[in-house]
Amino acid sequence: MKTNVLRSAAAIVAVAALGMTGSALAQEYDINGGRYLTEKEYKELSRDEAIDYCEKLAQEIDLQNDNAAAANSMMSDIEAEIESLKRQLAEAKSANDPLAGEVDRLRSQLRELQELPRSYTVVKGDYLIKISEMRRIYSDKTAWKRIYRANRDKINDPNLIYPNQVFLIPRGKPDTYTVMAGDTLGRIASYWEVYNDRGQWKRIYDANRGAIGSDPNVLQPGTVLSIPR
C-alpha cells in the first residue's frame, strides 16, 4: 500500500513537472501542521513550486505510513505475553496426557498474568524501589521511576511515601504523557514505557507541534502529549 501511495505521489510530481508553467506566487501552507493547498491554490503554483509541494506531500505520506506500520506492529508487553502463553497452552493441550502437567502450569501462569494488580496500597516500611521489585509489581527494582511518574499527583518526593497511599501500577505502553518540570523530549522518549530510546524525541514533537509550539526545547509542565504507537 505504501508503495502505491508513493507511486501516486511521484505521478503527481511528474504531472506537475510537465504541466505547471505558471509563475504565480505559492500560497502559504504547512503540511506538517495539516494545512494543505486547495485545488485552486495548487493550480496557481509555478512548475517548481508544484514539484516542491508534491515532494513534501510524498515525505508526509512516508512519515504517516511509517507511523501506521509502527502502530500496527506494537503490542503491550502483557498482551504479547498472554498471546504467547495461549499458544503454548494450545500446543500443550494437543499433546494430551503426557503434557497435562505443562497445561496446568501454563494455565496458572496465564491466570496470574491476567490478574496482576493495577494499583498498590502503601504499607509501613515501603519505598518505591521495594514496591517495584515485588514479584507481582515489576520484579525489577530499577522500574521504580515508572511508578513515580504515574503517581506524581500523590508523590512530592520519591523518597517520601506514606502508608495507605494508593498508587497506580501502569501496565503496557501509554498513549499519552503529562509533562513534568525538568522534562525534555529526549528524556521523555528515553523512558522505558515511552520508547526507551532518547533518539525518538522528534517522533513525539512531530505528533504534538500544536501543543508544544515552534521550539521543541521548551516544554510547559502539565502539557499532555500524545505518544504515537
Overall fold of domain 117-171: Membrane-bound Lytic Murein Transglycosylase D; Chain A (3.10.350)
Compute the C-alpha angle 200/178/138, nearest 5°. Answer: 75
Q: Which residues pair with 177 in a beta bridge?
A: 225
Say what the pTM is. 0.47
pLDDT in tens, 9-66: 444 444 444 343 333 334 466 766 667 788 888 788 888 888 888 888 888 887 777 7
- The structural domains of the chain, with segments of one domain joined by +, span 2-73, 75-115, 117-171, 175-229
Is CATH 3.10.350.10 correct for 175-229?
yes
List of residues 6+ apart from 124 with CB closer than 8 A: 163
